[in-house]
Each structure stands twice: as structure tokens, then as C-alpha cells.
Structure 1
């Protein structure tokens, strides 16, 4: 059953809950002499506790009583006060402060639930906060009770579930939860995954959990994870499924994520294109969550604002381009953002490559190429668009196929661009010809070998044995600022040279 929440009614006084644990800690520090070199004082213990709770743990947690069935929802202030006597007792005999943080963390460990939400019937924050016992037989409450039982079996008296531990009425709390969720899953003692559609590992290809956007970070973030099937049966014999060979193999096959990343994933703006491909296989109910579910994976700061639709992903991509230095983030094709032609509409754009372009995008290859100073690492978004240094090669358009008598020209056609220079092969690309009233054409080569000077406006080098990523560009008297515009192609476009080429790079704004 779910008991009345501590700190939200009469039970608060029974548990001697203070209104603000942080101020208590400050008072203790001022009133107690701190021994800098010896054993920790009570003030030291509560300072470390408050720092851990307020900076590294969720804003609300479920406290699970010793009977494994009774639970109550508590906030951070209540958590500090509730565990104060125990932490002081456990830590007072430590001979050094060095281990204080680890001891406190071990006593405040929590389990996190990863699951697919039910269409109706999930327990809410308001229901969990109500001052009454809950013995509901709704599927969502049954799932929560099973999760809490598993959490206690892993030695956790605290548990977190995104359905009922976030006060979604508070925009500040919701914003913090979305920004910090990756960290909360990473800090969990165990991530318990409930797969409602699976009875065994063989069911993974059809399991909806692997198709949802938010569960990507819930798979990558936790160092320890345990999968349970539809009847809450264990799907392996391991206590940590990231240590099981057969489970890791199954996870890698169904997600396309390497075992290395499943085991040792590090968030950040490295291999961004690969992370976008992972995300492209997943869907979210709210279109904004395509972007927000990647915040923690990319370790990027982005304000949360629902109702913005596709603008959320555009803002994510703009933030990425301001900090990312990998030319591979530019290797996409297909529909662009409605607000910016140099930004893809969604992660699906990073899957638009064929056999000809796949070789230059292999992770094993471009990891090796990073020290080679390929392309312009200082591309950035400006008011004029994406500012980028490229090798620009002007070309002539071979006219598309004419209309057949009595017919109409196809909307999407393969075009051929021909260079006056004897150094370049022709380029072909499949484009939407409906809105391409360009009088000038060019290709912009992105991943040329940059010179060693590190200066802007240098000389780029192309080798005849390599394929290069390029953009198709068009220009006309109607083009913004009289400059080049990026032409939308259905697949990533590459070019190859006939001989070694050295050419001055050109700055374009796309």
C-alpha cells in the first residue's frame, strides 16, 4: 500500500520533518566547530548529505518501508531530515572525511524505473501526494508496487518513477527533470526495466520499449540495469544485465549500438552523427521530445518549452553546431528544417546515405581521421545561416529530362552537375526540382584536408583515392544576399577527384 506522504500532512510532525533542510545544515555549520583533518563532524555529514541530495538526486523519491509494500512520496528536504539520524550514526565512527561521500551515497541509493507508459492508469504525482492509502488495482499501481519490491530486493529503500515522481504542474520542476534525467538514471543504484511485450530475449525485436525516444538514455545512462518481462520474470540470471554476454549481444543487435557504448557510454558532443542514427530508430509522442530526449545524451544545455513543435529540434541542432567540431554532423540529407535549410528536420536525415557515401562515414574511419584536421572545425550558426569554409567548385547543370508530350515532369529527378575543371568527376544527385530556379550551380566539399596553419582562409587538399562529402548549392538573383543556397537532396552526395587538388577554401553561409 501507499502511505500518506511524509512532509505533506500530519505525518510530517510525527517524523519531525523540518521545513528546510538546507538552512538547518547552514545553522549546524555555524554552530559546530569543523575538524578539517580528523573524523567528520555532524555538520560535515549533513553538508555532504545536502550537497548529494540537492545536486545529484531527483526532486522527489518514493520511500519504501521495511514491509516492502508500504511506500510514501518524499521531497529532498524531507529525505535529508528522514535519514539524518541514521547517517550521523553510520558516519560518526569514520576516521577520515575521505570516504564520507561514498558512505552517504551508499545509504541513500535508489532504484530507477524504465518502462513504457500505459495509455491510461499510470499513478500520478497528485495521487501519490494525497494523504490516504492507495490499494488500487489499476495496472499502473500494480506495476509501481512490483517495481518497488524489486528495488528493495536490490537493497534500495528509495525509488524513482517518471510517472509519479515529477510534479508536472511546476514548470521549474519539469524543466529540471528533463535536463537532469540522464544524470538521475546514471546515479541510480540499479535501473529496473519493465518490458511489457517480452517473455524472453527473443522478443526484443518486437518490444516497443526499444522504439521509444526517452528509453534510449535510460538504456545508455545506468551502469547497472536489470530487465524484467511482462510477468515481472527475470530475463537473465545476471544481477546486472550489462555484465551478461548474451544480453549485451541481444541489446546490441536490436538497437544497433555497440557493446562498447552499451557498457561505457559517455555523454557529450563526440560521435554526434552516430547518436543521431540511434535516435532515428525511435519515436516520441510529443514532437518536442525528439530534441529533449537527446539533451542528456549529448550533454548540452537547452531550455524546455512545449508547444514549439519542430523548433525544438532546430534549437538543439543550433546548440550542437555552436560547440561540435566534427564535420560528420553535416552529413545528412532529406527534408530540412522549416526554419533553416542547413539544419535537418529530424534525426532521420542522418540515415539518408547509400553504399557510395557509407565508406566515408564509418565510425572506425572517422575516429582515426580526427587528428587529420579534416574540413572546417569552426563552423557556426550566424544570423546569415551556417557559416562554413569549403572547397567551392562551380559546375554546370545538365538539364533534367524534358516533359513528355501531354505529360508533366517528375517532381523528383536525378540531376547531373558537370565541372569545367579537368580535376573533378561529374556529380549526380536526386533532387526535388519544383523549387529550384537557380542560374548558377556549385558543389561545396566539406571534409577536405586542411592545412596545418590553423588559419581561416587557408588551402585545402583533395586526394584522388578518397571520396568527399559535398553539398549541392544553387544561386540566382533571388538568393539571399546574392549568395549560395543549400539544395535538398534525397541522399548524401559525394565527389571524387581525378588527381591531387590544392585549392583556396571559400566561406559560405547556408
Structure 2
């Protein structure tokens, strides 16, 4: 009994629709009433399911678990809200004797209850339009934070596609464009799709996410492939999950962030009115604090649009970091990070993202002396596009670790804008060594440029105060391949030797 009660008050939705085996006589009940009804049912039915007199030792516990499983099932509805008036039946509207049963909103509710009862033998259901009391801020907050869990615990997720009739045009349904329905696609263990007339799109017994025709339509609508639907979500890169949300729409702007909590396994409080960027930054901060693949948070770009001064000023009050995205849309320009090991902690502070980097200088090939050579054993080139405030894209090719950058005195022809620092993030640090992405893997970096204008380039001055470096905006993240003059296949460098090869280990706020 204690296990069952804990289950009801911790894992069940706050409110549920209760109905009979035909899906009629619909009521709206809360957890206390759900628990009361289960207790009555247990007293009435338990003895008929289990004979204590003839039971073997341990059988009572098994019977209780079986009963708990059978009476704690609920169906859950995934749908898009009716935008016309009158629309959905809400918690505030629910008066069974007065509600307009001919309205589209009530017909949807009734069809859901009917399907849950007749098709799946379930007499409890959850529907967001009516089962959330939005006048209670605490209940709304708990519901939003718990929604992913409720979808995952449901016996069946009934998904109503109100715009289509057959599998062939599933991809065109509005359901695939909404923000909240992404988690409703990913969370349930068993999903069945119903068309505009509340008929099953497929009549087979298996879950619809196992059907090849439906999977093909889902991929066309969302880019999500079969393997991603069966994987543990937390094993899928952060940037990939963000891409799924990039083009989805929400009614309340903050819901872009709130609807992603379950998908990233984090929880933040809801605060409507805070604005979408602040909500998203709080989500990102929780992800950074709890996930092992935090490097992927920085795997985003800007497309062909330079952040305007007004936008930068507005976002500056939200985060001081240029390495933190302000929207899932920025991950549309991410690239797969094939090798993203990092052993140093990354934290988001008022000064920016506190992160360890390996600084690798590079010089523009247009300023490269005729006789060029790497300073140590490693070399590489980067061709990158940079955004400027006029929304023009300029390209540059830089040769890394060239000896001329480190010479004293530095050639007067090497000017400040000719040298960039590339801050590499995906390296593995031990007490004595640094391991860099091996051959045929990619180093993930951001391009940094000295803030102050100098007539000549001063390497020591910059390295003594890395706060003098600022990040350059790029359409996509920067990746490059580092190579060795000795054709090594694996790069493990003792820390005392880093500077000999022209590299500098620093901890920075970016």
C-alpha cells in the first residue's frame, strides 16, 4: 500500500480524467480522489485476485505489485490546441452539467476518453488543456516540470493528428511544428497515431514508432531517425537535440526553453515574463552543471547574421559569455564533434564561461614569410569565414604554429590583425600531459583576436593577460586537423613541452 501511495502522489499527474470502460461519465479528479478510488477498488477486488490461504511465501507482494500495475495505468493525449473560438475545454471551464458537449473542444476530450477506454482498457487519462489548473502558479510549475515524466509513465500516448487522414501525408500535420509536441514524440514508450476522424493510422498492435512508413514520415518532418527514437536521449549529443527544437513554434516565448527540460534531463522553475533568452540561458546553465558532454553546448554558429549591437547589449545583461547560445536556432549551424573529451570543469559565471583552452596562434597566409616553418613538431591550417557588423562574410586562411609568430624581435610586417589565436576546447588534460585530437579527428576551436589595436603584434603581452582577447563571430563552429611533422597518429604532449611547440594552456573567461 505504501508503495502504491508513493507512486500516486509522486509519479501520477496532479489531475486526471476518470471515465468508465466505455469512455463516458467523464469526471475530473485530483490525486487524493485517485488514491481514494484505488483504495476502494483494492478492498473490493483484491481478495478475488489473490487467495492468501493457499499462497506461497512472497506471493502477496507479487499480487500487490500486479494490482498496483493494473490500476495505476493512465493514457495521455498529445495534440495541438484548437485555435478557433470556442476552443479547448479548460480546467476553469469544467462544469460537466454546463459544458457545451457539441463544441470541438469537448468532442476531442470525449474521443480521447473513448479511445483510451475501448482500445486500451484504461479508465484514467491526462489531457493538458483540462488537467492543468493554470490559475495556480505552483500547479502550473509542477506540471510543466513533470510533463516529460508523465508522458514516459503513461500506458499509451494517444497522438491526434487533426490535419491529416493517412500515413502518406503525416509530415504535413501541424503537430510536427509545435514546441511541446517534441517531448511528446520522444518521451512515451508506446505511441499510437489517430487521424482527423479519430481512426488509427495503422491498425496493428505494435507501437507506431516501430512502423517503417510512420518512421519515414517522422524523419521527413523532423529529421529524427529511427535509431534516435530508440536511444537513451541523454546519449544523443546536445547540439543534435537542440536542432530538433530549432524550428518549432510556441505560443509563450519562454516555452521554447521550458519544453526542453525533460529532453535534457534537467529542471528549472518557470517564470513567464522573464523572456525567451533568459529562460534559455537558465536551461543552458543547468545543462552545463549536470552533463558530461558540455563542450557540445558551444557547438553552434550564427549563420550569416552578425549579432547586432542592440542584440548584444540586450543579451549582455543575460550572459557575459560569447560561448553560450541564446536560442536552439543557433544549433542549426553546428557540426558533429567527433572527439570531445574534456576533463576540466566548465562553469557559467558573471564574467563568462570559465573554461580551460589550448591557445594555438595562427598567422594569415598573406603575411606568411617566404621561408616558413613550424616552431615545433606540429602544424596545420584553418580556412574560416568571419562575420562583421555589416553582415558581410570575410574569409581567411591561417597557418598554425609558424615560427615567425614567436620570433624576437617580431617582424614589423606582422600586424595585429594578421595573427589570431585559436582556443581549442576538446583536449584531454592529466596532471602531466595534454592529449590533443589525434590525426583524422578534428580540433574544435573558437577564433580570438586581441581587443586593443597595436601597431605591431606582441605575443607576450597578450599571453600575460588573455582578457585582451575577444571572440570572432563565425557562421559555423571552427574545426581543423592538427598534423605532425613526424606523422604521429596520436598527440600526447608533456605540459613542459607545450610552449616549445607553440601552444599555451590557459584558463579563460569567454
* TM-score tier after normalising by the smaller chain length: 0.7 to 0.9
Q: Secondary structure at the match of 2:10?
A: helix
| C-alpha distance 322-78 of structure 1, shift in aligned 2 (>3 A) | same
| C-alpha distance 482-272 of structure 1, shift in aligned 2 (>3 A) | closer
Task: Identify the residue that residue 96 of structure 1 maps to in structure 2.
Answer: 60
Correspondent of 2:37 among 82, 85, 93 = 82
| C-alpha distance 265-237 of structure 1, shift in aligned 2 (>3 A) | same
> Residues 151-184 of structure 1: CA distance to partner in whole angstroms, max 9, x if unpaired?
1111111111000100000011000100100111
Q: Is the 8 A contact 2:363 2:402 kept in 1?
A: no
> Residues 114-159 of structure 1: CA distance to partner in whole angstroms, max 9, x if unpaired?
000111410010122x362534321111111111110111111111
Q: Which runs of 5+ in 2 are unaligned?
A: 53-58, 367-387, 405-415, 454-461, 499-503
Q: Is the 8 A contact 1:52 1:105 kept in 2?
A: no
Correspondent of 1:459 among 430, 434, 438 = 434
Q: Secondary structure at the match of 1:226?
A: strand
In the TM superposition, what are the counterparts of 1:334-353 in structure 2 within 5 Å? 334=302, 337-338=315-316, 339-340=318-319, 341-353=322-334
How large is the RMSD of aligned CA atoms in angstroms? 3.0
- In structure 2, C-alpha distance between the alignment counterparts of 1:148 and 1:413, rounded to whole Å: 56
Correspondent of 1:441 among 395, 414, 420 = 420
| C-alpha distance 79-411 of structure 1, shift in aligned 2 (>3 A) | closer
| C-alpha distance 246-445 of structure 1, shift in aligned 2 (>3 A) | same
Task: Identify the residue that residue 148 of structure 2 maps to in structure 1.
Answer: 182
Equivalent pairs counted in the alignment come to 426
| C-alpha distance 410-75 of structure 1, shift in aligned 2 (>3 A) | closer
Task: Identify the residue that residue 170 of structure 1 maps to in structure 2.
Answer: 136
| C-alpha distance 175-252 of structure 1, shift in aligned 2 (>3 A) | same
Task: Identify the residue that residue 52 of structure 1 maps to in structure 2.
Answer: 7
Q: Are 2:106 and 1:144 aligned?
A: no
1:493 CA displacement: 1.5
- In structure 2, C-alpha distance between the alignment counterparts of 1:506 and 1:409, rounded to whole Å: 29
In the TM superposition, what are the counterparts of 1:279-318 in structure 2 within 5 Å? 279-309=245-275, 310-318=277-285
| C-alpha distance 213-420 of structure 1, shift in aligned 2 (>3 A) | closer
Task: Identify the residue that residue 456 of structure 2 maps to in structure 1.
Answer: none
- In structure 1, C-alpha distance between the alignment counterparts of 2:187 and 2:240, rounded to whole Å: 16
Q: Secondary structure at the match of 1:276?
A: helix
- In structure 2, C-alpha distance between the alignment counterparts of 1:50 and 1:201, rounded to whole Å: 41
- In structure 2, C-alpha distance between the alignment counterparts of 1:253 and 1:447, rounded to whole Å: 33
- In structure 1, C-alpha distance between the alignment counterparts of 2:233 and 2:10, rounded to whole Å: 18
Correspondent of 2:213 among 229, 233, 246 = 246
- In structure 2, C-alpha distance between the alignment counterparts of 1:210 and 1:162, rounded to whole Å: 17
Task: Identify the residue that residue 332 of structure 1 maps to in structure 2.
Answer: 300
**TM-score, scaled to structure 1:** 0.76
- In structure 1, C-alpha distance between the alignment counterparts of 2:103 and 2:249, rounded to whole Å: 26
Q: Is the 8 A contact 1:475 1:483 kept in 2?
A: yes
- In structure 1, C-alpha distance between the alignment counterparts of 2:439 and 2:261, rounded to whole Å: 39
For CA contacts below 8 A with separation 6 or more, give which structure has more relative contact order.
Answer: 2
